[in-house]
Amino acid sequence: MTVVILRRVADLRTMVRGWKAAGQTVGVVPTMGALHEGHLSLARAAKAGCDRVIVTIFVNPKQFNNPADLEKYPRTEDRDAALLATVGVDVIFAPSPDEVYPPGFATTVSVSGVSAPLEGAHRPGHFDGVAAVVAKLFGMTMADRAYFGEKDWQQLQVVQRLVADLNLPVEIVGCETVREADGLAMSSRNARLSEGGRAIAPALHREMQ
């Protein structure tokens, strides 16, 4: 079984309207691709909680404050689609940057307070980019529920604040972090750790425990 991949908002909306007309609930799992077991666990939670499941794959340029980081971010769409087929999601939405941010796009979404410390302090503009794309993905998918990993704890708080402040009609579901056997939280970025970095990375979880 392969999963349908849609790239246009209009096509996605047509599909979702059909589901809603049939009284079905829709879940979305927003991702930037390079999927691992953590993402798949979100997709499974969405399958368990909703009639239909959309996984979005979009490497969002607006949340990268460093162009080299954006360039190097892993992109593995074929492999991702094969993994999502094993979970049985209904649609992958993988738009181009121009589809998400057409010429003339001029809106900023900024969640103050919770975005400021921790990662926000080290990556200026990062959470504004996350808030903008997440708000757009909710509008595009018209999902009833959206699934986010607790691994990105601050991001989860930002998204919850965004949804509450803007009265967005979507329920946010936080899901437990999935870890490697040695305790390292699964992340697409782990692929970029050096051998030495990978060896010491689990110490963070161990010490926090």
Residue from 27, 47, 63, 135 touching ligand PAF (CB under 6 A): that is: 63
Cβ proximity to ligand PAF, 16 vs 130, nearer residue: 130
Task: Give start and end residues of each alpha helix (H) in the chain.
Answer: 9-21, 37-49, 67-72, 77-87, 97-100, 119-122, 126-141, 153-165, 195-200, 202-208
The answer to the question of residue 84 lying near ligand PAF (CB under 6 A) is no
The two three-digit tokens of residue 169, written as one number: 């009609």
The two three-digit tokens of residue 201, written as one number: 């990375």
Place of tokens 């903008």: 132
Residue from 34, 83, 132, 134 touching ligand PAF (CB under 6 A): that is: 134
The answer to the question of residue 130 lying near ligand PAF (CB under 6 A) is yes
Cβ proximity to ligand PAF, 123 vs 198, nearer residue: 123
* Active-site entry in 39, 122, 126, 205: 39
Q: Closest Cα to residue 150, out of 104, 106, 187?
A: 187
Catalytic site residue 126?
Answer: no
The two three-digit tokens of residue 142, written as one number: 């018209």
Catalytic residues: 39
Q: Which residues bind ligand PAF (CB under 6 A)?
A: 30-32, 60, 63, 130, 133-134, 152, 155
